[in-house]
Chains A and B, each alone.
Chain A
Amino acid sequence: MRLPLSQILVVIISVVAASAVIAATGYNIIYVFTELVYGAFGTPYYFSETIARATPLILTGLAFTVAIKGGYWNIGGEGQAWVGAMFAVTIGIFADLPFPLHAIVAALGALVGGALWGFIPGVLKAKLEVNEVLTTLMMNYVAYWLAYYVINWPLKDRTIYAQQTYFIKSSAIFPPLAAGLRAHSFLIVALICAIVAQLILSRTRFGQEILSLGSNLAAARSGGVNVGRTYTKISLVSGALAGLAGGSEVLGFMHNLDIFKLAGLGYLGIGVSVLGVNAIGAIFAAVFVGALVSGADNLQRALGLRVSDAAVNVFTGTAIMCALLVPAMLIRLQRVWKLRGKKRVRT
């Protein structure tokens, strides 16, 4: 299976398909397409927007990828990001530390928060065999409402009439990569995480345990892997990564926390993971989705199309569906093709 080739194919098909959807509402499809690409990569500013949007997605994508390689369906990335964000913004607002230290501690807080939130469904699965799909899903909502409370009461910025927290101290901010650009230095954290994740999966004992669990649970067990403990560890790591995504948005992008900005990061992360297949691929897939976000913003500007966030969803959703359906259909076609010859034998 030539991996990158088929994924690129998927990307192209999905972008074309989605453009068609948008264009169906009355615009020239080529125009839509070019404005999209321009908005993503056209100017340094736009490109930095793409990167900035991609950064948290790299992390949530990694979170799902690492988990799914071990057969652990962590769809709680959303909630873990929220908790991570809450930890990060709290430390950012209240702690009194000098520049790099403050930011780093806040980022660690995000990591811990996410890990804690991911740990609960993990241990439930390890000890009690509770299905993690449903528990992580429910945890998303609990986290959301927790965040709602935190944003609107303890940490609420009373000076503004909006549902957002105070801004974090400047000593906690992860600075932009270059003045005036949207991309910020949390990107470095994300990239490091991707590389570390890939290394862990491919070269460590833990990675071997994860992969064997995801491949064949019975074989892993008879190969000495402690199934329960490994699931727990997976849930911790996956949660930590998603938590960092929340931290990224708070410490690098928004510098505070509001009730809207984090929405969809977890689920889009799953999409990123599906598109990217492995840890390093997640980077590219995240850039792709980030490009969609940035490009869609531009579509709004250029065409008066008030659909920026919706367009992103259309594109991403199409991409995910294509990533799922196209390979499956190809396999099915292959099988049908093979059987055409065999049909004669059975008379």
Chain B
Amino acid sequence: MQRRLFLKSAIAGSAVATAVGAGLLTPSMVFANTADFKAKSDAATASIAAAGKGSFKFKAPKIAENGAVVPVTVDASKMEGVTNISISVTKNGTPLAASFNISGAQGYVSTRIKMGTTSPVVALVTAGGATTQVSQEVKVTIGGCGG
């Protein structure tokens, strides 16, 4: 589907193709959540398997109030030389939710993620070249009331 899109725009000489030509939009920007991002997601999944247990704080609810908005916080501010904080939802289609490259900020990130089903959520912190992880299962349920 992505290839067809690319060809379509190339043939049509559309704004996308023009922008790509002018260097304003690189292919990785246009298709980022496919090839490039998926590769990053696969790399993160591999990292998780290899990483030892982290000593940083990872906060996520045990039972999510709403699977569409699950607040998660990674606090590695006490660690030296944090260069990356990544968050991965194991059972999601593309597990990697985000990868934050830290280059001046503290090793702290708070955000809200979408979860389709009960799943472990993994926080990965890379500091001083070493990657460690903390995992927590978050239950996602179907509610009863609302209207």
A is bound by B = no
